[in-house]
C-alpha cells in the first residue's frame, strides 16, 4: 500500500512539473511572438496559483499560465504585509550589479569596510555633489561607495561627456571629485562603461540621482547623510 502511495505521489509530482514546464513554454512562446525584442531570463511559478513570474533583466513581470496576459505590478502578501515583488527585484539588482563588476565602477574605500553601497550619480546633480562633498564622513562610517554614472540629461549631454572624461582620466577618483566641485577635467574619450551604467539605471527604473542600492539590493532614492545611511543599513541587517 505504501509503495502504491509513493508511486501515486511521484506520478502527481511528475504531472505537476510537466504542466509547469508546459505553462512556461506557452508563456515564452507567446511573448516571443508578440514581443520578439524582449529577452526573457526566466519563467517560473509565482506564489499565486495560475500566475507566473517572468524575469526580464532587472524587471519582474507576471503572466497568466496560457501566456495570453502579461502585467506589471506589485505582488503583496497581505497577511505578512510583505512586498514579494520587491524581494525578487532586490535579488535581480544584486545580480545585475555583480554582472557589471567593480572594475567598471569608481570606488571610494574606507580603511575599514563595514558596509558597501552602489550609487547612481550625475556629476552635475546638486544632491550628488552634496553627497560627494561629504565623502570623508561616509568613509569614517566604514561605508564603501561604488559609483555608477547616470547623466540625467542623456547621451551626448555635457554631463554625459564629463562622465566619460572622468572615466578616461589617469586618476578616476580624483577626476570625479574635481568634476563634482565644478573644476575643469581634461576632455578625454576611451572605452568606457557609461552607456552600460545608463542601461542598468533604466532597468532599475532610476528616476533621479543620487540613487543608493544597498548590499541587500534595496533602494534609497535621494541623498542620505552618512549617519542616516548607517542607521538604514543597520536596520536592513536586522531585518535580514
| Residue 128 known to be catalytic | yes
| Residue 81 known to be catalytic | no
Q: Are the C-beta atoms of 150 and 201 separated by less than 8 Å?
A: yes
CA-angle at 106, arms to 230 and 225, nearest 5°: 25
CA-angle at 130, arms to 128 and 136, nearest 5°: 105
CA-angle at 67, arms to 64 and 68, nearest 5°: 90
Q: Which of 93, 129, 146, 152 is catalytic?
A: 152
CA distance 212 to 150: 12
Instruction: Give the SS3 label for residue 213.
Output: strand
| Residue 152 known to be catalytic | yes
Q: Which of 93, 124, 125, 146 is catalytic?
A: 125
Which contacts (CB < 8 Å, 24+ apart) does range 52-57 have? Answer: 52/23, 52/24, 52/27, 53/88, 54/27, 55/88, 55/92, 57/92, 57/96, 57/203
Q: Which of 23, 124, 128, 129 is catalytic?
A: 128
Helix (H) or strand (E) holding 51: strand 51-56
Q: Which of 122, 124, 129, 146 is catalytic?
A: 122
CA distance 192 to 190: 6
Instruction: Quote the cell numbers at residue 36.
Output: 520578439
Within the chain, where are the H helices?
A: 2-34, 84-100, 126-133, 135-140, 158-168, 172-180, 194-203, 226-239
Question: Which sequence positions are flagged as catalytic?
Answer: 122, 125, 128, 152
Amino acid at each position: 500500500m505504501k509503495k502504491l502511495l509513493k508511486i501515486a505521489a511521484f506520478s502527481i509530482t511528475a504531472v505537476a512539473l510537466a504542466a509547469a514546464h508546459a505553462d512556461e513554454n506557452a508563456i515564452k512562446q507567446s511573448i516571443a511572438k508578440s514581443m520578439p525584442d524582449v529577452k526573457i531570463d526566466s519563467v517560473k511559478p509565482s506564489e499565486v496559483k495560475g500566475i507566473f513570474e517572468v524575469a526580464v533583466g532587472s524587471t519582474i513581470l507576471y503572466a497568466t499560465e496560457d501566456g495570453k496576459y502579461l502585467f506589471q505590478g506589485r505582488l503583496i502578501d497581505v497577511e505578512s504585509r510583505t512586498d514579494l515583488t520587491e524581494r525578487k527585484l532586490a535579488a535581480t539588482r544584486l545580480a545585475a550589479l555583480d554582472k557589471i563588476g567593480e572594475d567598471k565602477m569608481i570606488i571610494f574605500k574606507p580603511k575599514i569596510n563595514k558596509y558597501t553601497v552602489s550609487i547612481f550619480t550625475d556629476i552635475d546633480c546638486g544632491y550628488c555633489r552634496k553627497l560627494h562633498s561629504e565623502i570623508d564622513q561616509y568613509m569614517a562610517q566604514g561605508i564603501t561607495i561604488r559609483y555608477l554614472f547616470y547623466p540625467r540629461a542623456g547621451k551626448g549631454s555635457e554631463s554625459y561627456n564629463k562622465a566619460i572624461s572622468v572615466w578616461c582620466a589617469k586618476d578616476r577618483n580624483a577626476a570625479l571629485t574635481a568634476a563634482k566641485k565644478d573644476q575643469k577635467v581634461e576632455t578625454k574619450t576611451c572605452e568606457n562603461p557609461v552607456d552600460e551604467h545608463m542601461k542598468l539605471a533604466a532597468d532599475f527604473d532610476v528616476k533621479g540621482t543620487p540613487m543608493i542600492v544597498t548590499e541587500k539590493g534595496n533602494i534609497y532614492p535621494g541623498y542620505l547623510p552618512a549617519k542616516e545611511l548607517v542607521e538604514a543599513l543597520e536596520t536592513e541587517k536586522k531585518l535580514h
